[in-house]
């Protein structure tokens, strides 16, 4: 795992992990209707984060930091 891609947070979406291994966001179509477009695809991590690569909704999300001492 390349640590440069471990976690990213953009102004237009929630956190993303890896290179599209997990992206959490909500997008809108041309009419302004919002739809859930979070997705997961195994790229950077050894194992997939989710069993589906299709768009899915996220109701709640918590992100934790692990500090090794």
Residue by residue, what is the 3-state secondary structure of the chain? CCHHHCEEECCCCCEEECCCCEECCEEECCCCCEEECEECCCCCCCCCCCCCCCCECCCCCCCCCCCCC
HSE-CB for 25 with a 13 A CA cutoff: 16
Residue-level pLDDT at 36? 67
Query: Does the predicted TM-score (pTM) go above 0.75?
Result: no
Per-residue model confidence as pLDDT tens digits over 33-66: 566 678 888 888 888 888 877 777 777 777 778 8
Per-residue model confidence as pLDDT tens digits over 1-40: 667 778 887 776 778 888 888 888 766 666 655 666 788 8
Residue-level pLDDT at 59? 74
Q: Pairing relation of β-strands 22-23 and 34-36?
A: unpaired
């Amino acid at each position: 795992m390349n640590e440069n891609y471990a976690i990213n947070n953009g102004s237009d979406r929630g956190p993303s992990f890896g290179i599209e291994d997990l992206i959490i966001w909500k997008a809108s179509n041309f009419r302004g209707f919002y739809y859930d477009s979070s997705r997961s695809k195994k790229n950077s991590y050894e194992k997939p984060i989710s069993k589906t690569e299709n768009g899915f909704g996220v109701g709640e999300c918590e992100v934790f930091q692990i500090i090794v001492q």
